[in-house]
Structure 1
Amino acid sequence: MNIDFNFRLRQVFFLLLVLAFAIIIFKQLFIFFPGFLGALTLYILCRKYFLHLTLKRNWNKSATALLFMVLFMACIVAPVYFSLQMVYSKVQVILKEPEQINQAMEAVSKQLTTWTGQDLLNKQAIGDVGKKVGSFIPGMLNSSAMMLGNLLMILFLAYFMFLNGHTVEATLRKFIPLKARNIDLLADETVGMVRANAIGIPLVSLIQGIVAVLGYWIFGVKDFVLLGLITGFFAFFPVIGTALIWLPIVIFMFSKGDNGKAIGLAIYCLVAVGNIDYLARITILKKMGDVHPVTTILGLIVGLRLFGFWGFIFGPLMISLLLLFIKIYKTEFGEPHTEKKAGHIQ
């Protein structure tokens, strides 16, 4: 008994020591945690193709991994970089001449007052909005160093994940304390959720952004490409996201006297921009993995607070994983308990 107690005590002490070291290291490296998630996402998305090329076609593993890194840079990083550059250049102009925003907001305020008879956007509210936007945008753009660091971390970790993927997967299967069927369920569901969150949601937003660009161009909106890009960015927030951009544009057009164009743009955005989201979700997302809008919204709130820019992808993924863990817990620990109770009743 004494020997067994001492063994358990030493075991608990050592586990606490390991846990303490893990927490300390994780806290110091948390800033790069989105990079780890990004590398894992890239590995999951490309794993099937990587194995096909290296195992069936006998391609060199290192060269194939580098090829995937180059494709990742070309297809994802480059468009995001040029988009941010476009936004940054425009923001720089706005910050140097903030009266542009103030004039536009005053025009919107006057139009709302004309329609409602109430001063919904007084000068103090306009000033507060301007200050918040002025402090939020530079802070987001100035996080470029952190984004660059996480990008390098993605490339570094993903490279070694591709080279040692089979070994890591086999090791994880040994250490995950679940039944084999639940480990398979975890793997399959994770792949589906990663596809839906990392490809499906951004793809839906991109489609809405393109449709919005087309509408802004048709109805003569200035800076239609930039505004369409921002509309697609806000499309990450389901249902009302795009309206936060196109609705003020419509009101501003009314304030300028462009009533016909304003009505046309409002109808276009309600019918086309709004419904393309629904159509994309019941087609694209249903095939990749069904992500409920509530999951997306809650995930964005969590993700943006934890990871900043990267939270648009990894926030919804975390919520989806939480729901999956609850499902696995039910099948892992609920069924044996039910069977035991059923046997006892008989």
Structure 2
Amino acid sequence: MKFKQVLLIFLFILSLGSIFYLYKDFLINILIAGLICIATFGIKQRLDYIFTSRFLNSILSVFILTLFFIVPLFFVVQQGVKFFSQFQVSQIMYYIDSSKEGLREFLATFPVVEKVFTNLTQDITSQNIANWGLKLSSHIGKESLSLVIDLGFIILFLFVFFYYGRSVYIYILKLSPLNVRESHHIFEEVVGVLKIVLFASIANVVLQGLFFGIFIYFFNFKYVLILGILYGIAALVPVVGGALVWIPLVGYELFLGNTWQAIGIAIYAIVFIGFVIDNLLKPLIIGFVNHRILSKPLNINEIIIFFAIFAGFSTFGFWGIIIGPAITAFFIAFVRLQRRLY
């Protein structure tokens, strides 16, 4: 290899490393925006048939996605702040102590269980919870600010990708060492998986929020709509999911002395929603989206996508539910390409 070629390769690697270092704080946001754009680019394509302005269509695409995903979240946050602002610290302390005492009295008929419960909750005092609450609120405030900033950059990058998406895609195809057909095949695999994740997540959110809202409606709760929406949004978080909603609700019922009502909500949330819908029905939803909704079904096992969501969440946090399946699809597409070529 000639000296000039070696120098060019070295300079290219150096410039590439410099670019990554320069934009390292925005790489995840750029990646998330790119993956969302890939999964929802059909919105932009449909708008292109209606309006001729590429700028307007890009703005409208971002607006539709923002309206669909962010507005329900801000609605819940606003109502939640309004709800909790009515409480005083003394009421919260009394609620915690009364809930513990009520549950202990209920378990008194089962001495062994009551003893275990007492040992597990001996450190759960109103003072300790107040201290935990202060630390948690500080952490939530910091994370919320970071999330808002990230969402702002994601929306900005999303507009850029919608506006220049087709040109960027063609340019990447030309840069790829593979031929256009092979590169397009890999891209289609990733797009298909992202669409499956998107549609399956929307269906999962709607089903869990709807069934939880219908169930608690019969208990005469005032905030059925808010709790249903909040439960649906919480369903996006793997592992924890709706527990972020039903556990405080069960505690509130115990505080009111409605022990059997609290047990009913817990059993319904754990067994029907948590197990049946989230673990049994979700892979079926993924399979339905793949074979019924996608124009070209993917030859990929639904369980792989299901576990890719969990793996992505454990590695990258919330946005990992998008990144995990994308990485998995990219790897599988390359394995299949290698098999076809060699």
Q: What TM-score results when the alignment is normalised by the length of structure 2?
A: 0.76
- AA at the equivalent of 1:60: S
The 3-state SS of whatever aligns with 1:164 is helix
For the residues of structure 1 that align with 2:152 and 2:327, how far apart are their CA atoms?
28
- The answer to whether the aligner puts 1:73 opposite 2:66 as a matched pair is yes
Match of 2:332 among 321, 324, 327: 327
For the residues of structure 2 that align with 1:134 and 1:201, how far apart are their CA atoms?
33
- The answer on whether the counterparts of 2:33 and 2:158 sit within 8 Å (CA) in structure 1 is yes
- Structure 1 residues 141 and 182, CA gap change in structure 2 (3 angstroms): farther
For the residues of structure 1 that align with 2:195 and 2:215, how far apart are their CA atoms?
29
- Structure 1 residues 267 and 285, CA gap change in structure 2 (3 angstroms): same
- The answer on whether the counterparts of 1:253 and 1:259 sit within 8 Å (CA) in structure 2 is yes
- AA at the equivalent of 2:262: A
- The answer to whether the aligner puts 1:25 opposite 2:22 as a matched pair is yes
String of CA shifts for 1:29-74, please: whole Å, max 9, x gaps: x2x44542443244224423433443x5562222222222332333
The 3-state SS of whatever aligns with 1:131 is helix
- The answer on whether the counterparts of 1:209 and 1:230 sit within 8 Å (CA) in structure 2 is yes
Gaps of 5+ in 1: 305-310, 340-346
- Structure 1 residues 41 and 51, CA gap change in structure 2 (3 angstroms): same
- AA at the equivalent of 1:325: F
Post-superposition offset of 1:190 = 1.9
The corresponding residue for 1:47 is 41
The 3-state SS of whatever aligns with 1:59 is coil
Post-superposition offset of 1:121 = 0.9
String of CA shifts for 1:149-206, please: whole Å, max 9, x gaps: 4344334333333332222111111223345454233212222232233443244134
The corresponding residue for 2:100 is 109
Identity of aligned pairs, percent?
19
The corresponding residue for 2:201 is 201
For the residues of structure 2 that align with 1:259 and 1:317, how far apart are their CA atoms?
39
- Structure 1 residues 88 and 219, CA gap change in structure 2 (3 angstroms): same
For the residues of structure 2 that align with 1:58 and 1:247, how far apart are their CA atoms?
48
Post-superposition offset of 1:25 = 1.0
String of CA shifts for 1:65-123, please: whole Å, max 9, x gaps: 222233233333322222222233445556xx344443333334335544212212114
- AA at the equivalent of 2:330: F
Q: What TM-score results when the alignment is normalised by the length of structure 1?
A: 0.75
- The answer on whether the counterparts of 1:178 and 1:332 sit within 8 Å (CA) in structure 2 is no
The corresponding residue for 2:10 is 13
Aligned length: 320
The 3-state SS of whatever aligns with 2:23 is helix
For the residues of structure 2 that align with 1:242 and 1:233, how far apart are their CA atoms?
8
- The answer to whether the aligner puts 1:301 opposite 2:314 as a matched pair is yes
The corresponding residue for 2:177 is 177
The corresponding residue for 1:315 is 320
Q: RMSD over aligned Cα, in angstroms?
A: 3.4
Gaps of 5+ in 2: 108-112, 291-301
The corresponding residue for 2:288 is 287
For the residues of structure 2 that align with 1:66 and 1:128, how far apart are their CA atoms?
48
The 3-state SS of whatever aligns with 2:200 is helix
